[in-house]
Amino acid sequence: MSNDLVTVVYFWKIRERKVGFALLHMALDRRVIRRFKGVRFAKMLGTGKGETFTPRDADAQRWGALAVIEKSQIDALDNSKIVKRWRKNSADEVRYLLDPISSHGLWAKVNPFDYEKSAGTGEVVAITRARIKWAQNLRFWKAVPPVTSSLHSSPGLLKTIGIGEAPIGLQGTFSHWQTGADLRNFAYKGAAHQEAIAATERYAWYAEELFARFAVREIRGSFE
């Protein structure tokens, strides 16, 4: 992929009376954002607390969008009808601009973040995403709470959100860290996370998985 790309992630806090809008446009806007000029990959995202990765985690008021897009088209996307509609119906908006440090695995059969890598100094973001085999959902859900408890208490964690393309089976996390070292300490030194990695190898519960780290280029807005 070209070095003229950037990953943009939006999170919107939808006003309570506008949840119907969000549910409708979560479906309608998938094709619209994928066809936007300069977009190489895009997903509309639901969010949750990221504690159990079951439907009860879902946050009906927090929604998101992710796109890998040509840098020259960022302003156009930011001022597009699709983004303006979500912004109009939201109480807050947070936008991350990210440059990949590393990316391993597949998302919808591609590695969307396989383009020019950043050195990754300063704050970092990690995005994980997995397609869980249906037969493994219950086992996966039982394994998640110790890991998420460890994540939420990890030194250097600034923000974490559960993300998903569907209520069940397509799950992930978006986490924002003070430094890359903080993220690595959680990923490679935390006992709960190491046990989850071992269980993943033992049970092969993912049909597809991706782990990507990013340097934070810019953050606009703040979470309410």
The CA distance from 136 to 140, in Å, is 6
Q: Where are the domains of the chain?
A: 5-220
The CA distance from 107 to 98, in Å, is 17
In 165-222, the DSSP E strands lie at 170-177, 206-220
pTM of the predicted structure, to 2 decimals: 0.86
Closest CA to 98 of 222, 220, 219, 214: 214
* Side chain identity, residue 200: T
Cβ-count burial 91-107 (b if 16+ within 10 Å, e if not): eebbbbbbbbbebeebb
CATH topology of domain 5-220: Alpha-Beta Plaits (3.30.70)
Please report, in angstroms and rounded to a whole number, the separation of the first and last CA atoms in the chain: 35
pLDDT in tens for each of the 224 residues of the chain?
457 999 999 999 999 999 999 999 999 999 999 999 999 999 999 988 655 555 666 788 999 999 999 999 999 999 999 999 999 999 999 999 999 999 999 999 999 999 988 877 899 999 988 877 554 555 555 555 555 655 666 889 999 898 988 654 457 889 999 999 998 888 776 554 555 555 555 545 666 889 999 999 999 999 87
